[in-house]
Amino acid sequence: MGEGVNGVPMSIERIDDDAATALVLALLVLLGALCCYLHVRKPRCVVVADDFGISMERNRGIIRALKSGVVTSTSVMANGDAAVEAIEMARANGLLGVVGLHLNLTEGRPLSQPQDIPSLLLQRGETHQPGTGLKGGTLLRGKMGYRNACGSGEVKAAEAATEARAQLAWFEKHVGCMPRFVDGHQHCHVVSVVREALAAVFAAAGVRVTRVPKERKPSRSLCPLCSIVDLEAEEARAVFAAHGVSSCEGFVGLSLCGVDYSADDLLHAVRTQMEHGARSCEVMVHPGEAHMKGTPWDDFSGSAARQHELDVLTSTGLRRRLRRLVRLQPHR
């Protein structure tokens, strides 16, 4: 046996080196496992950009937010002015797997034949939006028109289901499969008169997830309409769950929608959901470029706030700060 350092046999020295190496490797493995455990223990957060396909300006903003910001999923509006282009852009950027359907029963032109869904449409001669010159008969009722007609019993659940199936079929045709998740433009899917029928349609199409816009302890006071949506959402959760369609436990979006929020506001809202017991959270956002005056879409879509929201969602450091709180993931 040869002599090692300070007279220690070389074989013993080699054994000590091997043992030390093995110990270091074991510690690294344990450290990696601990990091993975702590990461998995973080609440899951999905950041969804609505209105993909409504215009090229919104499409460009959403693609940028997906690639450079904190947005993890987007939902396409099948009857949007640039819906086909939206799918093409997602495919070209390798993002098709994070696209769901933004069911729209309130604005624009439906995909169903008008005679099949008369209760969803404006009456002949009514204008969809003041100043547009677009007349009723083939246009959806608009946000408040839809809600008022639902409240008065005019909207037929079967006709809402017909239009939902038409939009799902459009998605399957252009994407090549049914969507994993569906949310509702202006939360049209949680209204009491239609949600049972829509839940059945979603389940039949294999949709796994929908949005339940119930915000735990909103960071700001909700507007009257958002307060109604908040109440509808809690009741809708059980309806969709009974059909096997799940939803995130927490939600952020009602309190920030339509305001010039900051990165700090967004982080605070997400943290609040976690502090009140949510192990998963969906964040609804509307990034894009300002656009679209004099169209059938509402003023929200044409607001300069869309550019502000895009700037916040792609701001330096927001992804890193958000990842300290949650696991950022697309809808699965």
CA distance 215 to 223: 13
- Kindly provide the b/e burial profile for residues 79-104, where b requires at least 16 CB atoms within 10 angstroms of the residue's own CB: bbbbbebbbebbeeeebbebbbbbbb
Is residue 50 annotated as part of the catalytic site, yes or no?
yes
As to burial, measured by CB atoms within 10 angstroms (0-12 exposed, 13-18 middle, 19+ buried), residue 321 is: middle
Catalytic: which of 18, 50, 264, 299?
50
Q: Which two tokens stand for residue 283?
A: 């964040």
User: Can you give the three-state secondary structure of the chain, one letter per residue?
Assistant: CCECHHHCEHHHHHHHHHHHHHHHHHHHHHHHHHHHHHHHHCCEEEEEEEEECCCHHHHHHHHHHHHHCCCCEEEECCCCCCHHHHHHHHHHCCCHHHEEEEECCCCCCCCCCHHHCHHHECCCCCECCCCCCCECCCCECCHHHHHHHHHCCCCCHHHHHHHHHHHHHHHHHHHCCCCCEEEEHHHHHHCHHHHHHHHHHHHHCCCCEECCCCCCCCCCCCCHHHHHHHHHHHHHHHHHHHCCCECCCEEECCCCCCCCCCHHHHHHHHHHHHHCCCCEEEEEECCCCCCCCCCCCCHHHHCCHHHHHHHHHCCCCHHHHHHHHCEECCCC
Q: Which two tokens stand for residue 17?
A: 């080196």
Query: Which residues are identified as catalytic?
Result: 50
